[in-house]
Amino acid sequence: MIVRNCFLVLFLLCLALVLYGIFRPEPPPELFSQSDKVGHVLAFLALGVTGRASFPVLSPWLFWPPLLVAAPALEWLQHAIRPLRIFSVEDAAANLAGAVLAMGVAAAWGLLGGRYLQQRRSGLATALRGPPP
């Protein structure tokens, strides 16, 4: 439970940072060529991984599609809410790439179906119950 709570705190922090970054009045400074694209990929990678780790028992079919829709949609919404910010197909693609990478990380980590934390919980339950009679 403590691990899941930590992931939830990280997820909420990532969500707040992503929303701040997308809806802030001016774009972030460019640290190097295409640094904003790297930021988009990393933001949605972190959001997807921490989100999936926070909700491991939620069906992947209920978790991933909203994230995959939100990734490019938030870029469009940014321009709708902040007219001085421009819609960028490249930024939307970077958001989507980060979300897809998060799916890959989650699959590799065994979180796609919530198996990692379910196994830990079942192992703990077995340890608490003791060996079968």
State pLDDT tens for residues 19-54.
999 998 887 788 888 888 999 999 999 999 999 989
Question: Which residue range is the domain that position 62 belongs to?
Answer: 2-20+36-117
Q: Is residue 15 part of a domain?
A: yes
Q: Is residue 131 part of a domain?
A: no
Q: Which of 90, 46, 48 is nearest to 69 (CA)?
A: 48
Q: Is residue 132 part of a domain?
A: no
Confidence of residue 57 (pLDDT cuts 50, 70, 90): confident
Q: Is residue 124 part of a domain?
A: no
91-126 pLDDT tens trace: 999 999 999 999 999 888 875 555 555 655 555 445
**Residue 78 half-sphere exposure, CB side, CA atoms within 13 Å?**
26
Q: Please tell me the predicted confidence (pLDDT) of residue 34.
A: 84
Confidence of residue 128 (pLDDT cuts 50, 70, 90): very low
Q: Is residue 27 part of a domain?
A: no
Q: Is residue 123 part of a domain?
A: no
Angle, CA 47 vertex, CA 42 and CA 52 arms, to 5°? 130
Cβ partners under 8 Å of residue 97, min gap 6: 40, 41, 44
Reply yes or no on whether the pLDDT at 72 is more than 60.
yes
Tally of domains within the chain = 1
Q: Is residue 13 part of a domain?
A: yes
Q: Please tell me the predicted confidence (pLDDT) of residue 65.
A: 96
Q: Is residue 80 part of a domain?
A: yes
Q: Please tell me the predicted confidence (pLDDT) of residue 120.
A: 56
Confidence of residue 127 (pLDDT cuts 50, 70, 90): very low
**Which range, of 3-7, 11-15, 102-106, averages the lowest pLDDT?**
3-7
The length of the chain in residues reads 133
